[in-house]
Structure 1
């Protein structure tokens, strides 16, 4: 049973943010010392990281469900909850991350390359962070945001400079075993190689990697044999080497027809027809193999191929082949465009971007979509009237109610905030003209007030006016 897995479906879930705490400081002779509820901790991310020591996706095949830890809730005494721990998942070099529809989300190449597969939820603010000159004693806190969830597909595409392709039992495994220190399984029956084998070759000053891809047969690009499963491992290789068997015992086969069939499969798979190629005529240590190699070589050279006659068993022609491959790899590396320095792209927000949209659906329901409104709804404790009022104030400040009126919403109309599968639906009652001003003093507790000098009252009133002009409701400390 093989232990090599190069494609898995992974279900990842990030940690949820911890809830904020609603607490009031109490001590002897001062039972209402003000709000002191701490913030909830942030949920942990799920992060994929390239690790050169990992060569297979087998661990995720056996355990496809992975979840990061959630943040801890805040506590009284201004104690914030502990952040959730990130879950780091090591993956092999050359792993491609796709969604369920097959769209590429990330291409992970190079040691240490990372991709955040699921982002942890924000921690909720405690009532200490929500307090202000206008809201001195909030009796509520914000809930933590649930962590992100995603179903992804991981595909491994071998990262190598040279790929050996050819029919089963053409001698690919034997050749890689003598060119490098790789020790693949070698036997005298087809499909001995069930997994790609990698080897490192040194030729002069050039060091390159070579991959032995499991044998291809006619129809491999449509799923016959092992070809469809392993053709993806050829995609990243810079040079393709056709290994042709000159001593095959099958009467209906010959090197030229084998080459044409493999070329057609590579063409059908797509994206491989422009790669530099070389032809290796293997098993010339067999008398009939040597004669056949000399017979077909002129035909292959007339097609533009560089042809080498070798014997992996007798170690014939290997040095010339090794240096020729090094030359082709060096040329392919030189032809690649140089990587530019990382540039930071800044995309400023459009001046007319309100941050949300309001659309009336066919059934008459008004749906509000936007990152802020949807997050605010998830953070609201609807069992707390003060928290609901705070949400109404935030939506009003963002301009949601004004936009609802603009698109024709009336009192009593249904309004949904969020996507269909996870929306909060309510009957809308306009508060634009009166609610914002009347409800703006939620959270005040006159028991906390003490006599103030006239100058202090004037300063507090000015601070209250200044604060009403800024977006304090969207304050995020993380």
Structure 2
């Protein structure tokens, strides 16, 4: 049974926001007590958190679908819906988050590091929150926003200071077992190590981690053997140690040819040229092992390598090797830039940024409105409620979508799409539609709840909006348009 998994595909879904409530306060002798619908609760987030107790991704291999809790809907009497519970997914240190196309989303290094991979949807506003001095009795509420839903890939890259690389059965696991307290599986056949082993080494006052990579063979960078699966685990290491077998019985192999092959595979994999290298001539305790080490040492030093003759069985040379590694690791740590506290970066919105764009799609012969606000608004709108649709029209008009469509060349009857996904809203544009929503009275107004002075003020505002919209539209689109009858009194509404 598989006990180590270092790459999984995971589908995560954040919680949906709860719907707002449309409710009217009712009690004896108060038939029009006003709106009292509460807002919906926020949907839960999906977070990835580095946990030192987790060393593998096997849990997500068996259960790849994870979702957070949904927000609760609002209720009458100004009761807000409960928030959905966040879903915390523990991952090992060194986990890389990628999208389906292989683009890195986050690199999680360090215990406690967290990342919100899917954000929960915001709850919809209830009609109590939508009420205003001009919209005293909204008969609608906003829907909760759906939470993020996406497929991601988690890859584990071991966080170690030293990586041991070499042929299968070169003695890497044996060296880790004597240099640290780790107890990897050791046997006299190739590919004994099926997972990267980690150990902690103490050399004087220095403490560092060491890892062995399952045996590399020719073609490992192209997928042969196990190398391609585990070469990613050497990417974070500060130093590479070539463990060369001085007691191999395979024909055609010797320490120099092994080194050449491993270096070729590392170069093919890429990204490791800047790592310092050491050479450990292993198994010098066996017959002819010391002789082969003596023969090849001079050639390796001519190539620029620092060479150590070691034996996991007799422990010869291990102290010198551990202190040399401690020296290089200390130099690598000192060369790293000093981590500074996170700074808040302010990115002010441009003065001329309208928050949305209008483009014409010649292929489909339609105008498309894109932007975070209009796309969010259509998700919040209950299209079965006329008041909610009118409220959406009012919001789009105030945002400037009416004017932008005219400047883009849209004519009455042209197809307009808001959004770019399958749930986009499609409608035939009527230039007077949004302005008409304002002129005919804001959705949710109840004239029984306003004073005569408010009625006069409201009528004058509608007339001014009508005149301004007609003048601005005529300035960039002088096509004949349907005349709008002026509103003389509230009875005409």
Contact in 2 for aligned 1:396/1:432 (Cα 8 Å):
no
RMSD: 1.9
Give the 3 Å change call, closer, same or farther, for CA 433–314 of structure 1 in structure 2: closer
Aligned partner of 1:195 in structure 2 is 195
The answer on 1:414 being equivalent to 2:415 is yes
User: What secondary structure, in the 3-state scheme, does the structure 1 residue paired with 2:422 have?
Assistant: helix
Matches within 5 A, 1:289-368: 289-362=289-362, 363-368=364-369
Residue 436 of structure 1 and its aligned partner are, at CA, apart by 4.9
Q: Which whole-Å CA distance do the structure 1 matches of 2:457 and 2:69 have between them?
A: 44
Give the 3 Å change call, closer, same or farther, for CA 212–400 of structure 1 in structure 2: same
Aligned partner of 2:285 in structure 1 is 285
User: What do the CA deviations read for 1:407-439 (whole angstroms, capped 9, x no partner)?
Assistant: 111222111111142211111112378425414
User: What secondary structure, in the 3-state scheme, does the structure 1 residue paired with 2:10 have?
Assistant: strand
Contact in 1 for aligned 2:397/2:434 (Cα 8 Å):
no
Contact in 1 for aligned 2:394/2:438 (Cα 8 Å):
no
Name the stretch that deviates more: 412-421 or 80-89. Answer: 412-421
Matches within 5 A, 1:63-82: 63-82=63-82
User: What secondary structure, in the 3-state scheme, does the structure 2 residue paired with 1:129 have?
Assistant: helix
Q: Which whole-Å CA distance do the structure 1 matches of 2:336 and 2:172 have between them?
A: 27
User: What do the CA deviations read for 1:317-372 (whole angstroms, capped 9, x no partner)?
Assistant: 11111111111111111111222332211110011111111111122211111100
Name the stretch that deviates more: 218-227 or 433-442. Answer: 433-442
Q: Which whole-Å CA distance do the structure 2 matches of 1:108 and 1:461 have between them?
A: 58
Gaps of 5+ in 2: 466-493
Aligned partner of 1:85 in structure 2 is 85
Matches within 5 A, 1:167-316: 167-316=167-316
Contact in 2 for aligned 1:165/1:213 (Cα 8 Å):
yes
Q: Which whole-Å CA distance do the structure 1 matches of 2:73 and 2:104 have between them?
A: 36
Q: Which whole-Å CA distance do the structure 2 matches of 1:161 and 1:440 have between them?
A: 69
Instruction: Count the aligned residue pairs.
Output: 461
Give the 3 Å change call, closer, same or farther, for CA 314–109 of structure 1 in structure 2: same
The answer on 1:392 being equivalent to 2:398 is no
Contact in 2 for aligned 1:134/1:440 (Cα 8 Å):
no
Which stretches of structure 1, 4 residues or longer, exceed 4 Å deviation after superposition? none
Gaps of 5+ in 1: 470-478
Give the 3 Å change call, closer, same or farther, for CA 434–154 of structure 1 in structure 2: closer
Aligned partner of 1:475 in structure 2 is none
TM-score scaled by length of structure 2: 0.91
The answer on 1:435 being equivalent to 2:436 is yes
Q: Which whole-Å CA distance do the structure 2 matches of 1:134 and 1:294 have between them?
A: 93
Aligned partner of 2:7 in structure 1 is 7
User: What do the CA deviations read for 1:375-405 (whole angstroms, capped 9, x no partner)?
Assistant: 1001001111011000000000000011111
TM-score scaled by length of structure 1: 0.93
Aligned partner of 2:445 in structure 1 is 444
Residue 113 of structure 1 and its aligned partner are, at CA, apart by 1.2
